[in-house]
């Protein structure tokens, strides 16, 4: 049965111990194969997904025994084949595991691979790791953008998933990204405090903008090095919003180099990037030693080229009082 036929009728799911505590949006992503994430969010907003006969929100947490009803999904979906993960891809993914214990796996995801399949993507990081490792239970603890590289936490046990997602919600896990942005950032350190609102384009693609109607969002920026045409920054999001670092950079006039969604029209005269210059480089999790992944070679190459372009004038650094 193909995915177009599969969701034409009402679909029912029952939550077992493996899904206890999982968000409804993440639950549906893993089960409504072939349905775009934007469509799933729309179904939730429109009340087409009910849990125990009640309307819910995307962040609603599930409990054992919950009955989930999904209305018929009338959506033209392109055929997708379940392409097997090749041995080469499998070994590549397994080689990118930088930390593993009985409950947690941390993978250094390359740029260009989604964290999970769907919307025309045969498989993503999580599906590839399941196939490559042969492990029956692997679940994403959080997500990073497809074009962002770096550290992704994956649970091997339900208890680890619940524990670390609770720590994320309580802002007790510190995530540090390295980014290369356009222009010379004037402040050595600054806290970008700008509410973010998520919206959809006509084609269903999700975007984010700064808006007074958005959710509170804060990012700490620390400048590492300035160049003639760019700045190397360490960014730590103090909230977990979609595209947060990218949009906050745009909001202060320094969009990320290589970003084709936000600030791509901003003038940039430096070396041409190969990808979005954003990498999740460090995780500080209570009870664990810090976990790190160095800046990938393509970003290192771009930084070396920027560094070689001698600046006529480097901005005198100052610090934000905040």
Confidence of residue 19 (pLDDT cuts 50, 70, 90): confident
Residue 10 in tokens? 């009402």
Q: If residue 182 lies in a helix (H) or strand (E), which one and from where to where?
A: strand 174-182
CA distance 249 to 247: 5
Q: Which residues of 183-204 are buried (b: 16+ CB within 10 A; e: fewer)?
A: bbbbbbebebebbbbbeeeeee
Instruction: Give residue limits of the domains in the chain.
Output: 11-70, 83-170, 171-316
pLDDT top residue among 272 and 3: 272
**Same topology between domain 83-170 and domain 171-316:** yes
Angle, CA 207 vertex, CA 205 and CA 208 arms, to 5°: 165
Ranking 56-60, 272-276, 311-315 by mean pLDDT, the lowest is 311-315
Does 3 score more than 60 pLDDT?
no
Q: How confident is the model at residue 121 (pLDDT cuts 50, 70, 90)?
A: low
Residue 133 has a pLDDT of: 84
Question: Catalytic residue positions?
Answer: 145
* Dist CA 252 CA 116 (whole Å): 31
Say whether pLDDT at 26 is over 70: yes
Per-residue confidence band for 319, with pLDDT thresholds at 50, 70 and 90: low
Each residue of 94-109: pLDDT tens digit? 999 999 999 999 999 9
Which residues on adjacent β-strands are paired with residue 50?
55, 69
- 8 A C-beta contact, residue 67 and residue 51: yes
CB 279 within 8 A of CB 148: yes
Assigned CATH topology for domain 171-316: Pseudouridine synthase (3.30.2350)
**Main-chain dihedrals φ then ψ at residue 145, nearest 5 degrees:** -60, 155
More confident residue, 154 or 90: 154
Confidence category of residue 310, pLDDT binned at 50, 70, 90: low
Q: How confident is the model at residue 78 (pLDDT cuts 50, 70, 90)?
A: very low
What is the chain's Cα-based Rg? Answer: 21
The pLDDT assigned to 184 comes to 96
- Residue 32: what pLDDT? 86
Instruction: Give all strands (DSSP E) within 183-296, no chain letters.
Output: 187-193, 196-200, 206-210, 218-226, 230-237, 278-284, 291-292
Residues 6+ apart with CB under 8 A from 246: 145, 208, 255, 256, 259, 261, 262, 263, 276, 278
The span from the CA of 291 to the CA of 40, in Å, is 33
Task: Indicate the CATH number of 11-70 among 3.40.50.720, 3.30.300.10, 3.40.50.150, 3.10.290.10.
Answer: 3.10.290.10
pLDDT of residue 79: 43
Helices (H) and strands (E) in the chain, counts: 8, 17
Q: Is the pLDDT of residue 120 over 60?
A: no
pLDDT top residue among 18 and 1: 18
Task: Check residue 244 and give its pLDDT.
Answer: 96
* Most confident region among 18-22, 112-116, 146-150 by mean pLDDT: 146-150
Flag whether pLDDT at 33 surpasses 90. Answer: no
Least confident segment among 198-207, 278-287, 290-299? 198-207
At 39, the pLDDT band (50, 70, 90 cuts) reads confident
Alpha helices by DSSP H, 54-157: 87-95, 125-133
Residue with more model confidence, 127 or 246: 246
Under 8 Å CB-to-CB from 298, ≥6 apart: which residues? 111, 274, 275
Q: Give the CATH class of 83-170.
A: alpha beta
In the predicted structure, residue 322 carries a pLDDT above the cut 70:
no
Task: Decide: 126 and 139 in contact? Cβ < 8 Å.
Answer: yes
The confidence score (pLDDT) of residue 81 equals 42
Asked if the model's pLDDT at residue 291 lies above 60, the reply is yes
């Amino acid at each position: 049965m193909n995915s177009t036929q599969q969701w034409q009728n009402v679909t029912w799911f029952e939550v077992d111990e493996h899904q206890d505590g999982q968000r409804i949006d993440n639950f549906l992503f893993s089960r409504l194969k072939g349905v775009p994430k934007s469509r799933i969010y729309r179904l939730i907003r429109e009340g087409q997904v009910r849990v125990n006969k009640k309307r819910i929100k995307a962040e609603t947490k599930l409990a054992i025994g919950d009955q989930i009803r999904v209305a018929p999904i009338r959506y033209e979906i392109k055929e997708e084949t379940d392409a097997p993960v090749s041995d080469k891809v499998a070994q590549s993914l397994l080689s990118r595991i930088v930390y593993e214990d009985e409950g947690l796996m941390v993978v250094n995801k390359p740029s260009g691979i989604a964290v999970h399949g769907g919307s025309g993507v045969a498989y993503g990081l999580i599906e590839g790791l399941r196939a490559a490792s042969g492990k029956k239970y692997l679940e994403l603890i959080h997500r990073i953008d497809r074009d962002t590289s770096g550290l992704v936490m994956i649970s091997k046990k339900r208890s680890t998933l619940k524990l670390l997602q609770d720590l994320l919600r309580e802002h007790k896990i510190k995530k540090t990204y390295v980014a290369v942005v356009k222009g010379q950032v004037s402040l050595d350190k600054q806290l970008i405090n700008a509410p973010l609102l998520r919206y959809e384009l006509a084609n269903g693609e999700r975007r984010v903008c700064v808006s007074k109607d958005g959710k509170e969002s804060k990012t700490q920026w620390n400048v590492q090095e300035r160049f003639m045409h760019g700045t190397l920054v360490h960014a730590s999001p103090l909230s977990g919003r979609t595209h947060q670092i990218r949009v906050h950079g745009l909001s202060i006039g320094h969009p990320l180099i290589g970003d084709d969604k936000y600030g791509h029209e901003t003038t940039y005269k430096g070396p041409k990037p190969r990808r979005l210059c954003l990498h999740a480089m460090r995780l500080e999790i209570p009870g664990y030693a810090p976990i790190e992944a160095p800046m990938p070679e393509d970003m290192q190459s771009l930084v070396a080229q920027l560094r070689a372009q001698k600046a006529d004038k480097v901005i005198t650094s100052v610090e934000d009082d905040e």
